[in-house]
Structure 1
Amino acid sequence: MNLKHSLLTLALLSVLAGCSLDGEDGNQGPAGTPGQDGAPGQDGNAGKDLPRDLNIEVVGRFNTGIYGKSAAEIVQFHAASKAAFAINAADNQIEVISLASLPTAAVGSPVTDNSLSSTAFTFPDSVSVKNTTGTAVSLPLGEANSIAIYNDLLAIAVAGKEKTATGAVLFYSLDGTGQGSFIKAVAAGALPDMLTFTPDGSKVLVANEGEPDTNYNLDPEGSISVISLTEGIPADLADDINLSTDMIFSSDLLSAADYDTDAKRRSLLKASGVKLAAPTGTTVAQDLEPEYIAVAADSKTAYVSLQEANAIGILNLDEMTIEVKALGLKDWGRFGIDFSNEDEVASFRTLPNVYGMFQPDSIATYSWNGATFILSANEGDARDWDAYSEDIRVKDIVDPDEFNLTLSTTLQALYDETGGKDGLGRLKVTSALLDPDNDGVVEKLHAYGARSFSIWDQNINQVFDSGDDFGRIGAAVLGNNFNSAHTESKGDNRSDDKGGEPEAIDVGEIAGRVYAFIGQERSGDLFVYDVTNPFQAAFVAHYNNRNFNVDFELDDDLDNPCDENEGMDCSQVPEAGDLGPESIKFISAEHSPNGNALLLIGNEVSGSVTVYQITEK
């Protein structure tokens, strides 16, 4: 046994000793024979340049045959019935337009096409709503202003019989044909002008514009109504976000005591650049008029355009507060602008010390890198009533019988150089910002709108503006028809006002890219931009569905816009195409009746709804 143990011990020691000593590497062996080449792989798909080009084609069109009376204003889409919904204010009903048989081929005559038909969706002229005590009260109604659809739930914003009175939201459950069963009505604020569902369907948000009557005998407050939904059933009462005590200022440099009165809020807003134009003695809530609401993807934050005030309000839907952010000014010393309609040609130049107020109408939201961005159609608008109007021309400033003020040396030289009263003198500007230091000298001019669209981050910092693209592209394509009115074929007609007036905007995804679609109310242009990356937005396409060779004239301020006794002639309007695009609704290919992405555009002056198909080239 001892001998065996000794031998085993010696063996282990030998192994361990060998492990601790490295031997020398051997010589490199000869290279092996190369293996056979693998089979060729398939070619990858060809890459696409950015921005990608798009086909824009009219694949259907509906015409009410009613001109100048907002017979096709706000448009929405109901997927279950494959129908477009459009407000017909002239008949105070909703047109339900079937898209079930929509083709994928373009129509033969897009300007005059009338291939789509509708059925009428009507609603009562009075409803019963609950008041704060739970009592049912009857509410007489006026015109429908806006519609929104979430799955099979339809919401209609209807003004009171008098626009300064309480309005209402009417809720309906839609069936597979687009007809509705009434659920209930909920009281809103004065002049509910626009409404939308939150993306999760838990709330309806209503922009109550609260316009005054033209004599300022009544001036209701603007507000936001928030109507909660439980399993598709609206609450009896709306919650309100007011524009007084619900207003906050998020800066840590301010405390609540710094804005706890109307006078303090007004001072802070004006100092930040918010324009408040009204007769003496009005409140901030009376002066601010909510126009259009867009909601972030998380349904917790929304944004409301305060058009006349040149601001956007940030709505916190958990805290029920609003923070008003001024949008700043566009420097027309850096961009080309056509500012006179007297020469009747497209002519651009820069104007130092002349600024544009962005004043968006429609807005939309989308997400990039998890953050919310807001798109704005920068139309511009004045407060213009019989008892108060801020709307003037530059020539009025120096007119001894009007304002009798002096232009600064720089502005006077510009005024003279451009043609005086027929040049810069034609441009419409606000009187509310003429002479802030009251020294009798006007050093800056503030025009309405920015003739563009913009992208803003969630704190309302601008990250993109289309500059003077709309004017230059429109002039290049349409020639002297650019900046035409929508009530007659007369080019350069709107250059002294707000240009083509970007009015409608929506956003949607096509083949992995995100696009903004902007419609100009006056000239009828449709512009498309790739906004996939908001910091690298790029122009993609332009389309205009008008025939400018048709001679017509109507006046949408008349009770009868086509009144021949007033010199109007609408006989050729059916040949003129789409006039006055007011709203745009994007339909993704996933939900589209014909399998391709679509745009619905409501044209209020021509009373037509046009369906565009958008595909990659």
Structure 2
Amino acid sequence: MRVKSPSSKLALSGQIVAASLLCLNLTACNDDDDNNDTYFNRVSTFPICQQIDSNCNTDETTVAEIVAASSDGMTLIYTDSQLENLGFVDISDPANPKPMGTVALSGEPTSVAVNGDYALAAINTSENFVNVSGELAVINVPGQNLVTTIQLGGQPDSIAVSPDKSYAVVVIENERDEDLGEGIPPQMPAGGLIIIDMQGEPGQWTTRSVDMTGLAAKFPEDPEPEYVDINADNVAVITLQENNHIVLVNLVDGSIVNHFSAGTVNLTQIDTTEEDPALISLTETQNNIPREPDGVTWLSTELFATADEGDMDGGSRGFTIFNTAGEVVYAPGNALEHVVVSHGHYPDARSGNKGNEPENVDFGKFGGKDYLFVASERSSVVFVYDIDNASQAQLKQVLPASVAPEGLLALPSRNLLIAASEEDARGDKIRSALNIYQYNGSTPAYPTIKSTNRADGTPIPWSALSGLAADPNDNNVVYSIQDSFYQQSRIFKLDVSQKPAMLVEDIVLKDVNDVLASLSVVQLDDAQVAADDDTRVSVFDEADLAAMINSDKTVNLDPEGIAVASDGGFWVASEGSGTMGETNRPINSLNMILKTSAAGTIERVITLPEAVNAVQLRFGFEGVTEADGKVYVAFQRAWNGEDNARIGIFDLASSTWSFLFYPLDPRESQAGGWVGLSDLTALGNGEFLVLERDNQGGPDAAIKRLYRINLSDLNDGDVISKTLVDDLMDNLAAAGGHIPEKIEGAAVLGNGDVLIVNDNDGVDDSSGETQLINLGNIL
């Protein structure tokens, strides 16, 4: 087909309609329209594994990637590339979605769209990256049966149906082999575009091809179209991600009406370095980073938005609103990066690549207002932007999603938003899911914690919260602590008088007085380690000790528990690393209780008796608390083949240890696993609150419980009795998402309210969701 000359080829630089708002002041960027008090809140999460087993008791990998809806909005239809099928879900009651079965396909579905009673599934049937093929399967939605197939001649990606149902467009990506050489185009065959004229019954539909070679400045001979959307004028917008290019096509005659580079962005105050252990540092700059857009959606007949994932040349880490002339109307700069940092969702392991990695966008008008939705694949959130004034887009809220949201679907007719999260790995406690949000809340339920800004305008970075402790002198303050996922161990001060709770201060632990550095190296003889010879075993050598202390005297520990000390400052329980006698898990650190000042300076280090260190298990110190001149610490699991987990008691006056034994609940999860302790809080009069959990999440979670114990009349070696205070499963399910695995912190405020919090694993094989929940006065 003959290609018309573009109406304009405008360079993006110097032609910005509205300047990019960098949102250096995050608080200002989060201001909401005072006249619009309706929010989106998650009402349910449908795990795709329920299509296989109603309880998800299956290891089979399933995927929900792209999602569409039936014409009445009552049925969701999603692509499962792993099992090569289309899945159907009944959402007549959005709070209780139900499986409706699947339809097997001839290959890997890449996208799906709906026209009336028909679901149109683009299917990749290619043999390899060179011998490419694909087809369009037309499925009857009510009957869930194949009606016809249409050959596409190449490997498809996205599909869209025009608002008037006259046309469907399939982009033929013919994607590159990322393992071939350096994975850089050109790699033939070239991609293109297929227009489907949908007059009559599906068997009568016809196709037309649009040649897209020679348009982009980058790899012009190898266009790789990624995503498509169609406006009310029957103009399709197509992103060519690897080419960093955007093309507009008139579907009536197949002419190219405009095309232009997606341009570049300059990013300041971002993190581009991946450290191990992780460190979020918003101090770096990247210039001239190609946007390399992925998903695209029309906002009107004149404006559209792209999700700027970045691909080969860094990560552009945002989104862009363009007009049809190719001018930038709005771009958020570094705002998305700062937002996910402030919400505890920043994926530090992706700092060197694409950061939060915006994957897809969708548009919807709800309550008379225009909203843009942006899915962040690596941070597992959906950004909701108010775009009534597109040149001054305002962040309205951030929605939590299951791991790796890919497809977005706005359903204004039902006040619903759907996000399809594709990652599925039962062993990692991750299940692919459809996240369902409803536009009807007077307040946003998420986030539950958000950090304030530092003096330089960047948010205080946080994630991977472990223990929790209430300030005995301030009913509105609790403290938490980050675990070993991050270097430079820190304590966090949270103001819980508002929602979300505000993380207002981070206190960095430091060994300025060399208290930790001077810790003696412990040598154990053969009798203590039950060895058959006289070898002496070092369980804490100088190299291990040196690895804990940075050059600036900050420390790299594994803080799992925190308590406010009676004489000021904090008690911190640091879990040991390694298991005695396991060569693949060598001892790298001991379990330690650290006393710090209020400013985080380490003042004292307490270790276990040598005989106990000699049987160290990697599941060590978790919760810590102080009462009546003693420090109590919970061991996560039973050591040395013992029947029960220990509660260690250190007498501060005599510097002696004693131990009691806590009977853990037997495991109940359908996935097996283990049960252990997570936190310990003194209640007074010899009583303590204990947090007990299994190591399962999502549909496999079974044990998340609070127990009360009384240690008043017990002696060294006694077994503890416990009384159930609260089964937390219903409280956790009320958030509408998967049950988090690691409920690791519990605290009791002065007014008797009990708070719990989960560890989000530093957004590594995790959605990053943190739920700080006030259970009320349950004691």
Q: State the TM bucket, normalised to the shorter chain.
A: 0.5 to 0.7
What is the alpha-carbon distance in structure 2 between the residues aligned to residue 476 and residue 541 of structure 1? 12
Correspondent of 2:406 among 582, 595, 606: 582
User: Which residue among 96, 111, 117 is the counterpart of 2:88?
Assistant: 96
Contact 1:228–1:234 (8 Å) recurs in 2: no
Does 2:99 correspond to 1:118? yes
Matched, 1:180 2:144: yes
Q: Which amino acid aligns with 1:290?
A: P
Distance 1:149 1:349, change over 3 A: same
Matched ranges for 1:565-580 at <5 A? 578-580=402-404
Alignment of 1:338 with 2:287, yes or no, is no
Q: Indicate the residue corresponding to 1:601 in structure 2.
A: 420
Q: Is the 8 A contact 1:189 1:224 kept in 2?
A: no
CA pair 602-242 structure 1, distance change in 2 beyond 3 A:
same
Which whole-Å deviations, capped at 9, do the CAs of 1:60-107 have from their partners, x for residues lacking one?
42332578956111111114471111112221111111112333xxxx
Quick one: distance in 1 between partners of 2:298 and 2:238?
Answer: 11
Number of positions where the alignment pairs a residue of Structure 1 with one of Structure 2: 389
Verify the 8 A CA contact 2:350 2:356 in the aligned structure 1: yes
Q: Distance in 2 between matches of 1:202 and 1:236?
A: 10
Structure 1: how far apart are the matches of 2:288 and 2:35? 32
Match of residue 229 from structure 1: 198
Structure 1 residues 18-59: Cα deviation after superposition (integer angstroms, max 9, x where no partner): xxxxxxxxxxxxxxxxxxxxxxxxxxxxx9626656242233
Q: CA deviation at 1:494?
A: 0.7
- Tell me if the contact between 1:515 and 1:529 (Cα under 8 Å) persists in the aligned partners: yes
Alignment-derived partner of residue 615 in structure 1: 440
What letter is aligned with 1:317?
A: L
Mapping 1:450-489, distance limit 5 Å: 450-478=316-344, 482-484=345-347
Residue 611 (structure 1) shift? 0.9
Tell me the residue number matched to 1:505.
Answer: 361
Distance 1:340 1:215 in 2: 26
Taking the TM superposition and a 5 Å limit, the aligned residue runs for 1:269-348 are 269-270=216-217, 275-276=218-219, 284-285=220-221, 287-299=222-234, 301-322=235-256, 323-332=258-267, 335-342=268-275, 344-348=278-282
CA contact (8 A) 1:62 1:97 kept: no
Task: Render the CA deviation track for 1:532-584: whole Å, top value 9, x for unaligned.
Answer: 22112111101224xxxxxxxxxxxxxxxxxxxxxxxxxxxxxxxx1111111
Q: 1:170 to 1:372 in 2, by over 3 A?
A: same
Shift of 1:508: 0.6
Report the TM-score when normalising by structure 1: 0.59
2:347 equivalent to 1:522 = no
**If each structure's helix is expressed as a fraction of its own residues, which one has the higher value?**
1
Amino acid at match of 1:201: K
| Closer, same or farther: CA 527–189 of 1 in aligned 2, 3 Å | same
Judged with a 3 Å threshold, the aligned counterparts in structure 2 of structure 1 residues 319 and 307 are, in CA distance, closer, same or farther, namely same
Are the structure 2 counterparts of residues 538 and 236 from structure 1 closer, same or farther at C-alpha, using a change threshold of 3 Å?
A: closer
Q: State the percentage of identical aligned residues.
A: 24
Residue segments in structure 2 that go unaligned for 5+ positions in a row:
1-31, 50-55, 425-430, 443-779
What amino acid maps onto 1:610 in structure 2? Answer: N
Checking the alignment, whether the CA contact within 8 Å between 1:63 and 1:607 is kept in structure 2 is yes
CA distance in 2, matches of 1:471, 1:355: 17
**In 2: Cα distance, 1:585 partner to 1:338 partner:** 30
Which residue, out of 151, 156, 179, partners 1:192? Answer: 156
Post-superposition Cα deviations, 1:179-238, rounded to whole Å, max 9, x if no partner, equal: 334332111131111111111101110000012455589722201001111134354542
Name the counterpart of 2:528: none
Matched residues in 1 for 2:187 and 2:363: separation? 37
**Offset at residue 242 of structure 1 (A):** 1.0
Return the alpha-carbon distance in structure 2 between the equivalents of residues 509 and 72 of structure 1: 25
- Partner residue, 1:56: 41
Inter-partner Cα distance in structure 2 for 1:496 and 1:208: 30
Structure 1 residues 512, 524: closer, same or farther in 2, change over 3 A?
A: same
Query: Do the aligned partners of 2:48 and 2:62 also contact (CA within 8 Å) in 1?
Result: no
Q: Is the 8 A contact 2:317 2:357 kept in 1?
A: yes
- Tell me the CA shift for residue 117 of structure 1: 3.2
- SS at 2:152 equivalent: strand
- Structure 1 residue runs of 5 or longer lacking an equivalent are 1-46, 104-114, 126-141, 245-264, 277-283, 383-429, 431-447, 485-491, 546-577
* CA displacement at 1:306 relative to structure 2: 0.5
1:542 maps to 398
Give the superposed CA RMSD: 2.5
**Residue 372, structure 1, aligned to residue 305, structure 2:** no
Q: Which has the larger radius of gyration?
A: 1
Say if 2:39 and 2:440, in contact at 8 Å, map to a contact too. Answer: yes
Q: Counterpart amino acid of 1:601?
A: A
**Shift in Å at residue 451 of structure 1?**
0.7
The whole-number CA distance in structure 1 between the counterparts of 2:384 and 2:254 is 35
CA distance in 2 between counterparts of 1:51 and 1:101 reads 26
Is 1:170 aligned with 2:137? yes
Conserved 8 A contact 1:582-1:604: no
User: Which secondary structure state, in structure 2, belongs to the residue aligned with residue 238 of structure 1?
Assistant: strand
Change in CA separation of 1:464 and 1:365 when aligned onto 2, cut-off 3 Å: same
> Which has the larger displacement, 579-588 or 605-614?
605-614
CA contact (8 A) 1:67 1:607 kept: no
Counterpart of 1:571 in structure 2 is none
Residues 361-389 of structure 1 deviation map (CA, whole Å, 9 limit, x = unaligned): 1110022xxx421111111112xxxxxxx
What amino acid sits opposite 1:338 in the alignment?
D
Question: Partner residue of 2:77?
Answer: 85
Question: Secondary structure of 1:190's partner?
Answer: coil
Contact 1:586 1:597 in 2 (8 A): yes
AA aligned opposite 2:436: V
Q: Distance in 1 between the 2:238 and 2:299 partners?
A: 15
Contact 1:585–1:600 (8 Å) recurs in 2 = yes
Name the counterpart of 1:403: none
Query: Aligned in 2, Cα 1:67/1:583: closer, same or farther, shift over 3 Å?
Result: farther
Please name the residue that 1:533 is paired with: 389
Contact kept in structure 2, 1:597 and 1:615, CA below 8 Å: no
Q: Cα–Cα, structure 1 residues 207 and 154, in superposed 2: closer, same or farther, change >3 Å?
A: same
Cα distance in 2 between the residues matched to 1:68 and 1:348: 39
Distance 1:209 1:173 in 2: 26
SS at match of 1:90: coil
CA contact (8 A) 1:204 1:228 kept: yes
Give the superposition deviation at 1:598: 3.0
Alignment counterpart, residue 147 of structure 1, candidates 109, 112, 137: 112
Task: Say yes or no: does 1:358 pair with 2:291.
Answer: yes
Could you tell me how far apart the structure 1 residues matched to 2:441 and 2:373 are? Answer: 15
One-letter code of the match for 1:377? A
1:399-431 alpha-carbon deviations (Å, 9 max, x no partner): xxxxxxxxxxxxxxxxxxxxxxxxxxxxxxx4x
Distance in 2 of aligned mates of 1:154 and 1:205: 14
**3-state SS in 2 of match to 1:470:** helix
Which one of the candidate residues 48, 68, 75 is aligned to 1:76?
Answer: 68
User: In structure 1, the residue corresponding to 2:370 is in which secondary structure?
Assistant: strand
Counterpart among 239, 242, 257 of residue 208 in structure 2: 239
Q: Distance in 1 between matches of 2:204 and 2:310?
A: 35
Whether the 8 Å CA contact 1:168–1:185 is kept in 2: the answer is yes
- Map of 1:160 onto structure 2: 125
Q: CA deviation at 1:124?
A: 4.6
Alpha carbons 1:53, 1:540 under 8 Å: kept: no
In structure 1, the residue matched to 2:516 is none
